[in-house]
Amino acid sequence: MLERSRVKRSEPGSAMNAHAFSRHVTILNTARMRLLDTRTSTMARTTAFRVAFLVVACAAIVARTDDAATTSHVQAITEENAHLIEEGEWMLEFFAPWCPACKKFDPVWNEFGQWASDSGVRVGKVDVTVESGLSGRFLITALPTIYHVKNKVYRIYDGHRSLDDLMSYVEEQKWESVEPVAWWRAPSSPFMVLLGTTFKVSMALRDVHRVLTESYGIPNWGAYGIFALATIIIGVLIGTMIVCLADCFVGRKPTMAPPPPPTKKGSPNGADKESEENSASAVAKEGKEQSRHRRKGKNKKDN
């Protein structure tokens, strides 16, 4: 009887435990399904984002390829390959990335380069913010500036910046009516080479000034003081070197012996001179007396 009562009493508890277990299983299955749905949606979003990124990257690569195909006919001129413009016929543009007129003219110049590749004329461009030496050698004072170069003869293009004008300038050889720059203004002349070097040195000093003020936090007056001290030291060193070289190659001039000091009376040399003078005066007196005696004798004879 007791066992039956225990069994009867345990049946409702077991039923409740089974119901709770099935409920927990249902909740776990629901959470797992939601997690799977979340992962699936996340993977779908990631896949869509990757596909969109690949599409944009491919479009950018295609656009860059098209730009490269368009601008490949315009050669960048630097200090290293500047000797190329001394051969053949060139149209050379000097520009700066910050120049609005240069940005507006850039598509026209690229089209002109593509056209000129078929006519035997080479087209180049120089960034004056990077190639300060070339900017100084060509004496660039305005942007953009265009030069026509043929066989080391330099002419400044002063026409309109349209594609038709550029094409006719080259095709009809209108550059022949333009006066070339003077020989001393030619970029290959010693004067302009020296000016280009000066431009390069000034740009290097500007970079040093920027490093001193921005990287090391030195004030402007301190940087200028450093430049002044360096200038004085370099000047002293150069002057010392010039003096040493002049002394080595030219040599010292032979020094003349000083004249003997004047002799004073009472010295041996002075006594000799006095005796000579006395003897000379005595001889003169004797000669006078002899001539006087001769005159007296002659007068007596006459009487």
Q: Which residues are catalytic?
A: 99, 102
d(CA 297, CA 178): 112
Residue 203: how many other CB atoms lie within 10 Å: 17
User: What distance in Å separates the CA atoms of residue 265 and residue 90, rounded to the nearest whole number?
Assistant: 92
Starting at the earlier edge strand, list the strands of the sheet with 89-95: 74-76, 122-127, 89-95, 145-150, 153-157
Alpha carbon separation from 249 to 21, 241, 254 (Å, rounded): 111, 12, 15
* 3-class SS letters over the chain: CHHHHHHHHHHHHHHHHHHHHHHHHHHHHHHHHHHHHHHHHHHHHHHHHHHHHHHHHHHHHHHHHHHHHHHCCEEECCCCCHHHHHCCEEEEEEECCCCHHHHHHHHHHHHHHHHHCCCCCEEEEEECCCCHHHHHHCCCCCCCEEEEEECCEEEEECCCCCHHHHHHHHHCCHHHHCCCCCHHHCCCCHHHHHHHHHHHHHHHHHHHHHHHHHHCCCCHHHHHHHHHHHHHHHHHHHHHHHHHHHHHHCCCCCCCCCCCCCCCCCCHHHHHHHHHHHHHHHHHHHHHHHHHHHHHHHHHHHC
